Each structure stands twice: as C-alpha cells, then as structure tokens.
Amino acid sequence: MVKQEHIDFLNSYLPFLKKMASDDREEFFNKVVLKYYNAGEIISNNVTCSGMITVYEGQARAYIGSSTGKQISVYRLLEGDVCVLSASCVMKNLTFDVTIETEKDSQIIVLPSEAFDKFVKNNSPLKDYVLAIMSQRLSDALFLIEQTLFSSFDKRLAGFILEQASIEGANTVKITQDTIANHLGTAREVVTRMMNYFENEGYIELFRGGYKIINNVGLSSL
Amino acid sequence: MVKQEHIDFLNSYLPFLKKMASDDREEFFNKVVLKYYNAGEIISNNVTCSGMITVYEGQARAYIGSSTGKQISVYRLLEGDVCVLSASCVMKNLTFDVTIETEKDSQIIVLPSEAFDKFVKNNSPLKDYVLAIMSQRLSDALFLIEQTLFSSFDKRLAGFILEQASIEGANTVKITQDTIANHLGTAREVVTRMMNYFENEGYIELFRGGYKIINNVGLSSL
C-alpha cells in the first residue's frame, strides 16, 4: 500500500483512474508498490517482467541494445510517464527486446504484472489507456526509424531554431510551433515531435510559446 | 455488402468476430467493402484514412519514406493480414508517417474508419484485437530498429532473400534490386554489390529481374 501522496500523484497522472469503478480503483491503489532505483539500474528487460510502471520521481529510458553493446533510446520516461512494455510478459507470443533503465535516482510506482494482466482483461478504461500508450510508442519507434535512416527535417528545424535565435539576438526565443510549421511548410505535429526530440537530446528547453537553446554546438552539428 | 465467400474468409481470419455479439457481427459484415488495387497502388498514407484493412487476395507492405525518395518496409501484409494503422486518423493526436502500398494486384476488405472507430469504442473483443496488433507492430518496429542499426547489411539482405522466397513459396523470386533497396532502406548500389557477393559465394544465382537461391543453408547461416 502506497501513501496518500502517491495516490494523489497517480490520480493526477493516470486519466483512466477517474473512469474506473471505485472498487477497482481501490484495488489498483492496494496493488501498486513504490520501488527505489539508483541511477543506471535496470527496471525491466525481456527476462524480468516488473509490470506497469509510473515514474514518481527521477527519470528512465527505454532502449534497444545490440550484442556488441551499442544502444539506442527509443523513448524517455519522465515524472508521471507510464511504461507498459515492462509488463509485456502478459502479452501473448510477443517479445520486446527493450530494456528500461533509470537515468537518475528514481522512485517508481509499479503495478505488478499479475494485477496489470487482470485489470487490462477486465477493465475497459485501462485497456483504452494501454492501447493509447502502445500507439504512442509505435509512433515513437517509427519516428526513430525515420530519423535514424532518413534524417532530413531535423536539419531544417535545427537550422531554423539557430537562425531565429540569431535574429532575436538571444538564446531564448518566443515563437509558437504553429508559426514554425508555417515557416517550414509542414504540420505543427511534426514540429512538436521534433522539438520534443531536441529537448530530450538536451539541445533546447521548451516552454509555453517558445524555446531556449542550451546546446548551441550540438544543434549546429546537425 | 460483401459476398458470402468474403464473410467466410473474415470469419476464418479475424478471431474477434466469434466473440462479438451477433448483432455487432452482422453490422460488421454490412459495413465492410471489397476494394480492388493494382500492384503499386497506395491504399493508405498519413493523409488518407481508409480504415481497418484485411488482405483478401494479393500482398501489401507498410513503409516509411524519406523526402529524398528512400524507403524502408516496416512490415508486410499477406493474405488474411490486418492493418489498423490505415485507420490511425481515429486515434487522437497521433500521426504515423506510414504508407500502405500493394505489392501485387490485390483485393482488400476495408472496414471504413467511422465504423472502425465506433466498433473499437464499443466493442471489447475488437479492442483486444487492435491492442494485440498494435503490440505486434511495435515489436516489428523495434526489431527493425535493432536490425538497421546493429545488424550488418549482409545478414539483413540474406534474411530478406530467404523471407521473400518463403512468401513466394519458391526458390526463384522475381524482384528488382530497386525494390529490394526500397524494402531495406538502402540504395540500389548497395544491394547490387551484396547480391554480386552472394552470387560469387555460391549462395544465389542472379538473372535479370530476380534471383534463385542455390545454397539455402549457406544463406541461413549468415
């Protein structure tokens, strides 16, 4: 049983909880446990099967590793982010060779696999949520394929971000992503995705209505 | 309204139909339509939104394309295979930059997006099925990332040559090196060089517009 502060946290980050019957929600809160990880610890891989995880504090990433030790991050998990691939053992006939590893000392709220399995089977709001997350991860993965194989828009956007900063004479730039999309002849979603990617890579920091360049050299090298 | 043979086909390939209420199933069969495509036609991309598709006859692939015309196949769709990314417009805030294209003259059974949307919202067996398919596609995409980043090209090409023969059910396969390059996300020259190497090694025999496998074991051992 987790503390009230964790329950409040879950209520604010997991939209499906509101839609669950109160009995189910109660059971959900009874089943989750809080776990502590040091930076660099493995939360889950294709051998372990921890369950559905929510980052309460800290940061983690999902990566694919090669037999030769190379790695690539598929997505990052920040405060409030949820990962269901860490419960993939409950999905029949599927293996995801993905490792979930903390990037900082972290507190992780875990819904164990058996409980997750039962909830997903019986609970439609959670099922909807898992479907949405799976779709999001698939979108992330396809975007990553595109990036790694064909990268082109990243260069254009990086160029634009630097040019705009040079025009403003400041590293902090106020501009909406809609406006950027209109400058570059693309859709806002595409800009949003790439800006988020740049933020994850540590090139820029996003704020409402703008961005701040924090790694000029990194951006320029694109 | 499709014919009885199409209904029989759907019943045998779509496991969720058995679990649907008979009214829903009836409605499902009323909503699906049969469409004809020539080889190389686009069934769906991020602009169109055809709905959930099932391959009745023929063959298709889902690929990511670059602005410079490079392509890579993410997964193939054979007889009885289902694609839901072609209905991705019903998924909120998500874009999948994936194109679904026929590889052969094909007959495709389409459940239009609005009907798909309604069914997924209200129907649990279909929701389970969509979740399973999404998970499968995510698994495919992660595998592809692993392959393209961490596996040498000779292994990937050998895998493709064998897979293609298995799809065709024959050791002699008619396919251009351009097409192979578009499946594997590389340039034709790279394919040509490796195919010539494979021929020199006695794994395959090349002819205009195709290849014949002559050392299956050798190729597999790669």
Q: pLDDT (tens digit, 9 = 90+) per residue, B72-85?
A: 999 999 999 999 98
State residue A214's pLDDT score. Answer: 94
Residue B189 CB contacts under 8 Å (≥ 6 apart), including other chains: none
With contacts defined as CB-CB under 8 Å, which chain A residues touch B136?
Answer: 94
Name the nearest CA neighbour of B107 among B9, B218, B215, B220.
B9
What is Dmax (Cα atoms) for chain B?
61
Whether B97 has its CB under 8 Å from any CB of chain A: the answer is: yes
The lowest-confidence range among A145-149, B40-44, B64-68, B109-113 is A145-149
- CA nearest to B184 within chain A: A149
State residue B33's pLDDT score. Answer: 96
Which segments of chain A have a pLDDT < 70?
69, 92-93, 151-152, 183-185
Whether A189 has its CB under 8 Å from any CB of chain B: the answer is: yes
The lowest-confidence range among A90-99, A123-132, B10-19, B181-190 is A90-99
CB A64 within 8 A of CB B142: yes
The lowest-confidence range among A6-10, A196-200, B61-65, B121-125 is B121-125
State residue B50's pLDDT score. Answer: 87
Mean pLDDT of B179-207: 93
- Rg for chain B, CA atoms, rounded: 19
Whether B78 has its CB under 8 Å from any CB of chain A: the answer is: no
Quick: pLDDT tens for B192-204.
999 999 999 999 9
Res. B89: pLDDT tops 80: no
Provide, rounded to the nearest whole percent, the portion of chain B with pLDDT above 70: 99
State residue A147's pLDDT score. Answer: 73
Mean pLDDT of B152-174: 94
Distance CA B218, CA B221 (A): 5
Strand partners, B173: B211
Res. B103: pLDDT tops 70: yes
Mean pLDDT of B27-49: 92
Res. B162: pLDDT tops 90: yes
With contacts defined as CB-CB under 8 Å, which chain B residues touch A136?
Answer: 94
Name the nearest CA neighbour of B43 among B58, B23, B28.
B58
With contacts defined as CB-CB under 8 Å, which chain B residues touch A130?
Answer: 131
H-helix or E-strand containing B201?
none
Res. B118: pLDDT tops 70: yes
Cβ-based neighbour number of residue B209 at 10 Å: 11
Half-sphere exposure of B160 (CA within 13 A, CB side): 31
State residue B120's pLDDT score. Answer: 87
Residue of B123, B139, B147, B156 to mutate when probing chain A, most A C-beta within 10 A: B139
State residue B95's pLDDT score. Answer: 73
User: Pick the residue with more confidence: B92 or A48?
Assistant: A48
Distance from CA of B40 to the nearest CA of A (A): 21
With contacts defined as CB-CB under 8 Å, which chain A residues touch B72?
Answer: 145, 149
Provide, rounded to the nearest whole percent, the portion of chain B with pLDDT above 90: 71
State residue A15's pLDDT score. Answer: 93
Confidence of residue B102 (pLDDT cuts 50, 70, 90): very high
pTM for the whole thing?
Answer: 0.80
Strand partners, B35: B108
Q: Does the ipTM surpass 0.90? A: no
